[in-house]
Chain A
Amino acid sequence: MADGHEGISRRNLLRAGLLAGAAAVAGCGWDGGPLLRPKLAGVSRFNDWVGEHLLLSGERLAPEWPVSARSAAMPNYHVAATTPTLEEPAAWALTVAGLVRKPMRLTLPMLQALPRVTYTVPHHCVEGWTTVATWSGVPVRAVAALAEPTDGAQHLRFDSFDRTEQGVPYYNGWDLKSAMHPQTILAYAFNDRPLMPEHGAPVRLYSPIKLGYKLTKYLTAMTFTRERPGGFWEDQGYPWLGGV
């Protein structure tokens, strides 16, 4: 009896030692390796599901802040080496395509003629910082109402003319619930002025319910899809939902 008890004790001690060893290895900047990395990505997808279906409200509005709370500066960011700009800004139009009854191309004046939403909100970056700014634009759902997505449309893909030096384009995949949120807009104004090139001119995606990397700048197209599109950073391991 005593011997058996000792055996269990030793086995458990050994187990605890192995786990402690694993924890020590894990502590050395380790990313999980080929064995654990796919499992971590799987948990991340489960967290996306929890975020979309249990935590996200499709209608509740993010609280708005007073204009006086605006930050002095808004960091700018793109994957290209220099700020992406259009050679012919007047020729720009947003392509609305995919699983829709009425595919269309919308110019900037056409977007500006649609219902306009303006709000001052904190911007949440995945890195952990925030900045407060005012954004104006047309709700994505107003554009969707024009294009009439079919029943098969489950996701939205937003494309950009921002691309790395190697030619890898920036893009994002969205769930419809977040895209159809009343504060998710195609923004053409920042702090009451036309959107500047460093913030995604002529039009960028904006929403206070998503982290910054989900908010596609330098938009070229929004495409309704059945399959879930990935994303520039999402494909590299950032949470796909990216909701806040």
Chain B
Amino acid sequence: MDAIAEAVPDAELPARRGVKRHHWIVRLTHWLNAIALTGLIASGLQIYQAFPHFGQKGNVYPVPNPFDMYAFPRWSRLGGWLAGGLQWHFALAWLFLVSGVLYVSYMLISGEWRTLLFRPRDVGPATQQQLYYLRIRKDHPPQGKHNALQKGAYTFIIALGALSLLTGFAIYKPVQLWWLTALFGGYELARYWHFVAVWLFVGFTLLHVALVFLVDPASIRSMITGWYRGRFPSHG
């Protein structure tokens, strides 16, 4: 009937529209997050430019920082100067916070968190999945919507989002929220963890996008329309 249905073997097409994979809240918050995070990192680099060190003025902390004194290229920064960077950062932080809260609330209320949260019992399956990827184990381990390694990756990134928000508030109001700042080891270290989170986000995103394109490009469509018509329909 249509060209796409003819091009795909019947065995891989359970229904014409594929399988429903992502709720609209998940899709909406995913893309809002992608926009917010891009802008937050770019404006964050602009803010970092004002004092590209960690520690007190003239008394730099001995924390590892390959970007000490580093001037990030202009294309990577957002806001034009410090005040502009701050305005973008403190505006996009709301988008990041609201989309994060909306997403986590949906996961909790729908019960979908069970398909995604990495728990101690996932350690064994995660090992098996890794053995499969290393071609030591021949057959694909059984899985639900996500395999155990995916659960680990997605649980990590949600936790990283929470860490970014909390360290962000810790350096935004280090006196009013002194208990939060103290939790991260004080203002200087909270600012450092906030910066470390950036590079974990960048690393995750590069890997995430690479895997999507290399392993399962059809998953992009499912994150836009909600419907999945790719190679792994059983993982719906």
Q: Do A and B come from one complex?
A: yes
A23 touches B224 (CB 8 A): no
Residues of A10-56 at the interface with B, using a CB-CB cut-off of 8 Å, are: 12-13, 16, 19, 23, 26-32, 39-41, 43-44, 47, 51, 55-56
Q: Mark B66-78, 1 if CB is under 8 A from A, else 0.
A: 0000000011111
What is the interface size of chain B, counting residues whose CB is below 8 A from a CB of the partner?
52
The winner among A39, A62, A244 for most chain B CB atoms within 10 A is A244
Q: Report yes or no: B84 in contact with A31, Cβ–Cβ below 8 A.
A: yes
In the complex, what residues of B have CB within 8 A of residue A47's CB? Answer: 90
Q: Once the chains bind, are B57 and A12 in contact (CB under 8 Å)?
A: no
Complex CA distance for A63 and B179, rounded to whole angstroms: 11
CB within 8 Å of A: which B152-187 residues: 172-178, 187
Does B230 have its Cβ within 8 Å of any Cβ on chain A? no
Cross-chain pair count, CB within 8 angstroms: 143
Contact (Cβ within 8 A) B78 A19:
no
User: For the complex, would chain B's binding face be called helix, strand, loop or mixed by DSSP majority?
Assistant: helix
Please tell me if the beta carbons of A41 and B87 are within 8 angstroms of each other in the complex.
yes
Shortest distance between the CB of A128 and any CB in chain B (Å): 4
**Bound: A31/B85 CA distance, A:** 8
Pick the most buried of A40, A129, A238: most chain B CB atoms within 10 A of its CB.
Answer: A129
Which of chain A's residues 117-133 have a Cβ closer than 8 Å to chain B?
122, 124-132
Task: Specify which of A9, A124, A125, A130 is in contact with B225 (CB 8 Å cutoff).
Answer: A9
Which residues on A are within 8 Å of B, measured CB to CB?
1-3, 5, 8-9, 12-13, 16, 19, 23, 26-32, 39-41, 43-44, 47, 51, 55-57, 60, 62-63, 71-73, 75, 122, 124-132, 208-209, 233, 236-239, 243-244
